[in-house]
Amino acid sequence: MIPKEILKKVRQIEIRTKGLVNDLFGGEYHSIFKGRGMTFSEVREYSPGDDIRMIDWNVTARSNAPFIKIFEEERELTVYLLVDISRSGHFGTTNQFKSELAAEIAAVLGFSAIKNKDKVGLILFSDHVEKYIIPKKNKSHILRVVKEVLSNEPQARETSIKAGLDFLMNVAKRKSVVFLISDFIDTNFWKSLKLANRKHDMIGLRISDPAEENIPNLGLVKIKDSETQSEFWADMSSIKHREILSKNIKEKWTDFETMCISNQFDVINVKTNRDYVEPLMNYFNKREKRI
């Protein structure tokens, strides 16, 4: 039985994202994510000005009149939403948790995909893959995707982006569009990301909360180092300690951005205290100009 509050959230997200997809993202999505190429459609009689390289010589010989081949874009794509549902997503100091923002963005991307007749698959991961839903293309399927992102309680607390990417490489045999939605509080995934980025059209969405960079006065808290896995207590009532921790966090994100650039991995930064429409539209516009 699905809890009523989850169904209510799914419905709210559907209402909020419907207008965005129809008015903004639908057309932008179609223009920047291309199909797999051109596929043969039909033949028709040659007209002056047609490209002679397109002449179908077999049909021309049979008909004693020139005919040309007509091709159309093979539009259908497979889109994978690779979503981090580890415990760090259950955090937010403003209007919503990071996990709730992830679900809403997944809805926008999913509805944009099916509006363009593309299939959407879902991979939920923590330190292992928690859920896999095979790609389909209908509204009820996307609503199920949103429900799963919102309601799935991870069996593990940790994060392994590598585990999610390795699973993707096993199930996605053909080139696909992949949206990796995570706070990227993890290490040791760059080798897997490089391989996945080479095969697929990968786009990252890094979800963060303002308190993760500008540390508030939280008193005495236990902190875990993501690289060494060691834990220690820190006095967050101390301004000095907060400034040191904030500086370390900002340096790590600077290193992350440098790695993204060197690996040609596009990342859209979204925050729980800001509208996600602007960064998404900015990315779509920049990408369209590169095409």
Mean pLDDT, rounded, for 136-140: 87
* pLDDT over threshold 80, residue 240: no
- Tens-digit pLDDT profile for residues 34-79: 655 555 567 888 888 788 888 889 988 988 899 888 765 555 789 9
**pLDDT per position as a tens digit, 201-213:** 999 999 988 877 7
| Least reliable range by pLDDT among 81-85, 164-168, 211-215, 277-281 | 211-215
Query: What is the per-residue DSSP string for the chain?
Result: ---HHHHHHHHHHHHHHHHHIIIIIHHHHHHHS--S-EEEEEEEE--TTS-GGGB-HHHHHHHTS-EEEEEEE----EEEEEEE-SGGGS--SSSS-HHHHHHHHHHHHHHHHHHTT-EEEEEEESSSEEEEEEEE-SHHHHHHHHHHHHHPPPS-SS--HHHHHHHHHHH--S--EEEEEE-----S-HHHHHHHHHHSEEEEEEEE-GGGTS-----EEEEE-TTT--EEEEETT-HHHHHHHHHHHHHHHHHHHHHHHHTT-EEEEEETTS-SHHHHHHHHHHHHHH-
Report the predicted TM-score, pTM, of the whole model to 2 decimal places: 0.77
Q: Where are the domains of the chain?
A: 4-32+75-290, 38-73
CATH fold label, 4-32+75-290: Rossmann fold (3.40.50)
pLDDT band at 157 (very low <50, low <70, confident <90, very high): confident
pLDDT in tens, 242-262: 777 778 778 888 999 999 999
